[in-house]
Amino acid sequence: MINIKPVDTVNDIDLSHYELPVRQMVYAGHPRFILSRNKPQYIPFIIEEQDRLIGVFALETGEILETIGAPQHAIYLRGLSINFSEQNKGYFKASLAALERYLLEHYPEITAIYLMVNVNNDAYYAFIKSGFKDEKRIVRQGLSKLKVLSKKLSI
């Protein structure tokens, strides 16, 4: 069973076997960066199955939610990636389901998950298939155009 847990220190996490194709890393960010970013209102997580590292992501509140026009009781999902050797095994969808359970248990005030995805990223379709809705908003970050997606949490 998939387990997600917050990370206190990235030093304890072995990323030596974590692989992402360059194209995926450009969109999701390097796993070490996602896990070690030191920012207020930012919580890095790992995705595990039987002590095996499957993926990484971070949750964020604050300024980013205002930037994308998200409601007050939303949370931002940043940098979700699944280790390349574990892709196409259902871990993406299972990780999102585990995230929803985690939020309902630990952050019951959160009513929606928001994220941005590059318009050229195939992950857009994976998020849509997993129940995320295209908010029909584009945010520019540098040269990139990012679509805003959201998913309401069901109680």
pLDDT at 11: 64
- CA pair distance 92, 46, nearest whole angstrom: 13
pLDDT at 129: 95
Q: What single DSSP character describes residue 72?
A: T
> Is the per-residue pLDDT at 78 higher than 80?
yes
Angstrom distances, CA of residue 15 to CA of 19, 22, 35, 106: 8, 16, 10, 27
- CA pair distance 150, 114, nearest whole angstrom: 4
Domain that holds residue 116: 2-152
Whole-model pTM?
0.92
> Tokens 């309902």 correspond to what residue?
104
* DSSP H/E element including 24: helix 22-28
> Tokens 């520019």 correspond to what residue?
140
For the chain, the domain total comes to 1
> Is the per-residue pLDDT at 24 higher than 90?
no
pLDDT at 10: 66
Cα atoms in the 13 Å half-sphere on the side-chain side of 75: 21
pLDDT at 155: 64
- CA pair distance 58, 134, nearest whole angstrom: 20
Q: Mean pLDDT score of the chain, rounded to an integer?
A: 92
Q: What is the pLDDT of residues 113-143, one digit of tens each?
A: 999 999 888 899 999 999 999 999 999 988 8
Question: Are 114 and 74 in contact, with CB atoms under 8 Å apart?
Answer: yes
pLDDT at 154: 81
Token pair, residue 120, equals 């050229």
What whole-number percentage of the chain has pLDDT above 90? 69
Give the confidence band of 52 by pLDDT, cuts at 50, 70, 90.
very high
**Lowest pLDDT segment from 2-11, 36-45, 65-74:** 2-11
CATH number of the domain at 9, please.
3.40.630.30
